[in-house]
């Protein structure tokens, strides 16, 4: 099953079994079925609960707050995650504060689905990864699955079992990928899963045998990290493990640092800009917990630049296998 089909099936299951769920966004209706086809067929099956929305993300997010307070569980699709910032006032000053302002007498179970990330040549306003900006908002939950996770299962749990405001990030490069698991993984890659509703997935190029390099990332970066792990093994004979949390705010740090004991180097990779980012938060925790002593610690992220429309230039701005390998070479591990 592909990532996008998992999302679509989950949305159908949710709508079929929970009448309090409303799904709406721009261009969701058939035959178009959404910009990335995650909602294809749903408006035909649920014509009164899969609804088109005007081109106003502020209104869409604000409406979700009203629906949630009234007892519904709205799912809002933001076609491109970049435009979630048009609803920033509703998020920051309203939805995330209602429960506190009303002394926990109301619940605001809103799920915002947002496509994130670049590598598709969509240009500077349709290619960003805004998780660090959103993560700075108190009380928000941010889910960011890879194609090693079960995105549909994560979405169902997020919509139906979590209260408060949740942003479910769907990386564009993941939509067309076949889901991977322990029996369906790339040759040379081993996979294991932590327990819990939001499991961390770990992949290894050495069957988790005392990795020399520990990589931490999320979302769409599994694609380049798969390639990176094989290059490290075949070209440099370095063992490496990558940990991908599915819930990145709040984060389960215990699972995140699994495999750190023997690692000589820790690399945190994100597609958002490196400065003031998610990686900075991870490394701050690492330092405060005293877990990084004697290890080379590196942050990798996008350049401090808008993302170009040219895919050749876009590749230079976003993290790449080549850049990460150069960092590892500089650290004299190879």
Question: With contact defined as beta carbons under 8 Å apart, do 205 and 239 qualify?
Answer: yes
Strand order in the sheet with 201-204: 190-193, 201-204, 240-244, 213-216, 265-273, 296-302
Q: How far apart are CA 52 and CA 109, in angstroms?
A: 20
Q: How far apart are CA 53 and CA 28, in angstroms?
A: 8
The set of catalytic residues is 126
Residue 254 CB neighbour total at 10 angstroms: 9
What is the sign, positive or negative, of the torsion defined by CA atoms of 32, 35, 37, 39?
Answer: negative
Which residues lie below 8 Å from residue 115, measured CB to CB, with a gap of 6+?
A: 35, 36, 78, 79, 80, 81, 170, 171, 172, 175
Which residues lie below 8 Å from residue 54, measured CB to CB, with a gap of 6+?
A: 26, 60
Q: Calculate the alpha carbon distances from 275 to 32, 132, 245, 270, 280 in Å.
A: 38, 10, 21, 11, 7
Residue 39 CB neighbour total at 10 angstroms: 27
């Amino acid at each position: 099953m592909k990532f996008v089909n998992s999302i679509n099936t989950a949305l159908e299951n949710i709508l079929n079994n929970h009448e309090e769920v409303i799904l709406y966004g721009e261009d969701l209706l058939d035959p178009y079925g959404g910009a990335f086809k995650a909602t294809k067929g749903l408006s035909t099956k649920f014509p009164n609960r899969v609804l088109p929305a005007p081109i106003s993300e502020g209104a869409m997010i604000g409406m979700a707050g009203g629906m949630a307070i009234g007892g519904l569980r709205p799912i809002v699709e933001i076609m491109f995650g970049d435009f979630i910032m048009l609803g920033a006032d509703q998020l920051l000053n309203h939805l995330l504060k209602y429960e506190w302002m009303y002394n926990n007498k109301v619940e605001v179970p809103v799920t915002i689905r947002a496509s994130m990330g670049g590598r598709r040549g969509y240009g500077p306003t349709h290619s960003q990864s805004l998780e660090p900006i959103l993560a700075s908002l108190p009380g928000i939950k941010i889910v960011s699955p890879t194609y090693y996770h079960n995105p549909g299962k994560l979405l169902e749990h997020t919509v139906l079992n979590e209260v408060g405001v949740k942003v479910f990030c769907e990386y564009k490069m993941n939509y067309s990928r076949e889901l991977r698991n322990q029996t369906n993984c790339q040759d040379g890659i081993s996979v294991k899963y932590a327990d819990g509703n939001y499991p961390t997935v770990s992949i290894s190029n050495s069957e988790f045998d005392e990795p020399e390099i520990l990589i931490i990332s999320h979302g769409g970066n599994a694609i380049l990290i798969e390639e990176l792990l094989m290059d490290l093994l075949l070209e440099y004979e370095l063992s490496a493990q990558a940990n991908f949390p599915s819930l990145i705010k709040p984060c389960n740090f215990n699972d995140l640092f699994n495999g750190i004991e023997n690692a000589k180097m820790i690399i945190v990779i994100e597609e958002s800009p490196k400065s003031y980012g998610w990686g900075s938060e991870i490394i701050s925790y690492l330092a405060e917990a005293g877990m990084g002593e004697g290890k080379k610690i590196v942050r990798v992220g996008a350049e401090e630049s808008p993302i170009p429309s040219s895919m050749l230039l876009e590749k230079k701005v976003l993290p790449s296998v080549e850049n990460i390998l150069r960092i590892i070479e500089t650290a004299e591990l190879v």
